[in-house]
Chain A
């Protein structure tokens, strides 16, 4: 018989999937509240409550601009991170295609970035997808080597959503500036998707040397369906949505005032508390990984080692000989929420493109689990997971016909070193 651990008497919820989305912070909720039914007017209306809504909108814009070290009219509010990425990519491509049709990016970007690029390829654009190393890092040198005279845009994510790799954005940005100066050109422009980074890292666009930056509220304890695209002054882009001309004519449609106010509040809070939160979560992640290594045999850390170059809340590892979706379903039975890079949970039935780009063989990707911690998590949550995960793994291994070597070298993937 296969006896799984007994379930707790009262079912607990241990949410460890904050990279998927976060709950909305109470303070953020309170800031949003007045804009649902009290100050509900259209910010374009001239009467008092319209002006009030407009005031709140522009306060939010200034607040976000200040954190990004930008000017208020460089802040475009959108319908989320995906829309911001689309606006950046398609907006630049459509406006500047007469100059060139080449774009550079990496193999580990979010689908919100890869898919608009795939569409552009169908329309005659050329895209270079840069390789990353085994921990997911892109080399600034390789970025620069990929630039051609017709390159109009470079897009590299700030931090990876699956494995937490923090990319050297400032370094790449500086190199691009040097290139432009040397060649007397304004191209290529530089975009970064900072959706995962905004909650933990500095997002000063002057220090990052980016022309465009994407972030959204739903990853930083704000509401879903609202995002920002920062766009450097003077950079022309084509809008995706036409209409009443809101957001400097770059994103028409009545502004989502409550959402925007919530985003600004959420961004302010995460940025204000990032240092204390980062230290706390990184220690928890370190503790978690320590427990995993101690109690589960044949585990493999995906992404950079736990430290400055990895998002503090991210833990992604592969458990060999078992499959991620099965693990996920068992964990769910105990109220534990996390993600996997296994093919079974993807629509394409292909395992994670990020893990594959890092050189992880498919059979290792299928057993990957991603835990992303949040502000509310404590050691108690980790201990709760550790109460069940090791025995779930043990049971699944009991019925697994697979016995993979832990070392990739035995599996002809020599670029990997044992950590």
Chain B
């Protein structure tokens, strides 16, 4: 049998599944930390949210220089949109030579969803985790650098 390319549509005729941006980040995620690479996380601050029992767990590591995020790595256990949302968050954080801490603290789930070109409503809880992980990582940095 040959496969057909078909879009799932909801009752209003809108595509139900993921936007092209979500798919792009899902199939080609960026800035992740690979378990097989011997990456040195010294100087990085970790933020971990969720749990495998909930179905999503995300970890974000940030490196901070002069109140700016100079590097960001992540890992995600979760569905397609969870992977895509962490990937795009890392991209957002790192573009234009890195967000300042002030900017990073203002990242909301809506910002991530917007950048992803929207998410199916029932998938929104996944992307909310990404910004929480980022906030936790920053909190970690701040509590250790007072």
Enumerate chain A interface residues (CB-CB to B < 8 A). Answer: 2, 4, 10-15, 321-323, 325-326, 329-330, 333, 335, 342-344, 347, 349, 351, 361-363, 366, 397-402, 404
Contacts and interface: CB of A to CB of B under 8 A. Distances in A.
Question: Which interface residue of A335, A398, A399, A404 has the most chain B CB atoms within 10 A?
Answer: A399
The 4 closest A-B pairs by CB, nearest first: A363-B52, A325-B79, A344-B79, A401-B75
B77 interface: yes
A111 to B, nearest CB: 17
B59 A401 contact: yes
Contacts of B28: 2
B3 A335 contact: yes
Given A12-B1, A323-B77, A401 B58 contact: yes
A325 B80 contact: yes
7 contacts: A2-B29, A12-B2, A321-B52, A347-B122, A363-B51, A398-B35, A401-B76
Contacts, number: 94
B53 interface: yes
Given A12-B3, A344-B55, A326 B83 contact: yes
A361 B52 CA distance: 10
A333 B33 CA distance: 24
B21 to A, nearest CB: 15
B126 to A, nearest CB: 8
Interface string B1-18: 111110000000000000
Contacts of A399: 29, 32-35, 74-76, 83
A329 B26 contact: yes
Nearest to B34: A398
Question: Which interface residue of A321, A326, A361 has the most chain B CB atoms within 10 A?
Answer: A326
Contacts of A330: 27
B24 to A, nearest CB: 12
A15 B2 CA distance: 11
A351 B54 CA distance: 9
Interface of B: 1-5, 26-29, 32-36, 48, 51-59, 74-80, 82-83, 122-123, 125-126
A2 B80 contact: no
A282 B137 CA distance: 50
Contact of A323 (B75, B79, B123): B79
A348 to B, nearest CB: 10
B69 to A, nearest CB: 19
Contact of A342 (B3, B32, B79): B79
A73 to B, nearest CB: 39
A329 B32 contact: no
A397 B79 contact: no
Contacts of A12: 1-3
Nearest to B51: A363
A401 B57 contact: yes
Nearest to B18: A329
B75 A326 contact: no
Given A15-B1, A399-B83, A401-B76, 17 more contacts: A13-B1, A13-B4, A326-B79, A326-B80, A329-B80, A344-B55, A344-B123, A351-B55, A362-B55, A366-B53, A399-B29, A399-B76, A400-B75, A401-B48, A401-B58, A402-B57, A402-B77
Contacts of B55: 323, 342-344, 349, 351, 362, 366
A13 B2 contact: yes
Nearest to A403: B35
A4 B53 contact: no
Given A326-B80, A329-B80, A344-B79, A402 B52 contact: yes
Contacts of A333: 27
Contacts of B54: 362
A18 to B, nearest CB: 13
Nearest to B56: A323
A400 B35 contact: yes
A320 to B, nearest CB: 9
B121 to A, nearest CB: 11
Nearest to B78: A323
B65 to A, nearest CB: 24
A325 B75 CA distance: 17
A321 B51 CA distance: 11
